[in-house]
Amino acid sequence: MSTEPKVLIYGASGYTGKLVAECLGERKIPFYFAGRNQQRLEDAMKIVVERLGHEPDHVIAQAENKKDALLPLFKNVDVVINVAGPFMQMAWPVVEACLEANCHYLDTTGEQDWTIAIRDEYGKAFADKNLLLNPANSYMWAAGALAAEKVLEDPEIDTLDITYQIKDALPSQGSTRSFLRMVCNPQYKLKDHQMVEWQGDRAFTISVPHLSQVQLALPWGGGCEPVWYEFDDRVRSCQVLTAFGDEIIETVVATIHRFLKEAEGKSQEEKEALTNQFGDEMNSTEPPKDSVDIHRTVITCIGQGRQKTTVFPMSMCAPYTFTGEICAEASERLLNGELVNPGFQSAAGAFGHKALMKVFHEKGYINLE
């Protein structure tokens, strides 16, 4: 190993962890490849090596998901990337260990309630230490924040209507568990400076600019963009809908209705176990790595003001791989001392949307205009 790793991936043996490791390896950033199961970590690293064509600069580290077990590792690093979810169920010890060890915290959650919870519990404490608290540093919901910031360059805009539309979605087992607990819990949008609850158990029919046919969409947990902008004076209202294909949307709506029936009278712990069960029933295998030529997505942000409406469609390819890339990009910027805003932030808020969009345009992932 050439240098001591200053980045750690926790939950690294899963689908997203391997993508993050691959992207760090391509940038020649040393990292700890950490999780609870040594054999799974070793098997996962073999896949990373095969994809890269060489062995990245890494150290495999086994650690239980408990603060006291994580602290000795975290004290060696500056950045922790947590990819072990569902996050509301599993991530509290990781955040707490990061704060105590003075590490920047990134994760790849899609869970709106988790994002709100750690903002309220730890946002100020991370900011006071000049540390980044950056959940949802992933396709969902960092990409929407980039598109939103592009629209908010116009000071007349104060309302954001964001849609995610993806072709041939490939949800992993971990993300299936995570999104099911998202959609089976209350989910919110920002309306007139207040967070109000969506009706999450029905599909909405939407029209997106680049498609000739209407699509079915869901709040999909509410999104994190309303959370990023809840206390932002520039934004009055913000809502997010997600169209992952009508068949997937219809299946998810049916699952939500099943959950509402079976969860009646159960405790929150029992409800969490139920969504995990449903997730495993829907998806028990790991999908292949996504493709830039097959798995394409458009995040559309419609901005409105008193006298203006504008539309920015941000095209993107391989959104899961983009998640690995934005985690690697954030890590590199943190190691280089390029954090713009500490505390609770989206990637756009932490590093500036223009800088990030330029990088990902040059890498072939997104458009700029």
In this structure, the answer to whether residues 243 and 160 fall within a common structural domain is: yes
In this structure, the answer to whether residues 165 and 297 fall within a common structural domain is: yes
Q: pLDDT 10s per residue in the chain (369 long)? A: 457 999 999 999 999 999 999 999 999 999 999 999 999 999 999 999 999 999 999 999 999 999 999 999 999 999 999 999 899 999 999 999 999 999 999 999 999 999 999 999 999 999 999 999 999 999 999 999 999 999 999 999 999 999 999 877 666 656 677 777 887 889 999 999 999 999 888 999 999 888 899 999 999 999 999 999 999 999 999 999 999 889 888 988 998 899 889 989 999 889 888 888 887 777 667 788 999 998 999 999 999 999 999 999 999 999 999 999 999 999 999 999 999 999 999 999 999 999 999 999 999 999 998
In this structure, the answer to whether residues 83 and 68 fall within a common structural domain is: yes
| Residue found by looking up tokens 């920002």 in the block | 190
Distance of CA 275 to the CA centre of its chain: 19
In this structure, the answer to whether residues 294 and 342 fall within a common structural domain is: no
CATH of the domain at 47: 3.40.50.720
Does some domain include residue 27? yes
In this structure, the answer to whether residues 185 and 305 fall within a common structural domain is: yes
In this structure, the answer to whether residues 255 and 345 fall within a common structural domain is: no
Boundaries of domain holding 160 = 146-319
Does some domain include residue 309? yes
In this structure, the answer to whether residues 120 and 152 fall within a common structural domain is: no
Does some domain include residue 190? yes
Does some domain include residue 367? no
Which of 319, 335, 354 represents a domain boundary (last residue)? 319
In this structure, the answer to whether residues 209 and 92 fall within a common structural domain is: no
Domain total of the chain: 2
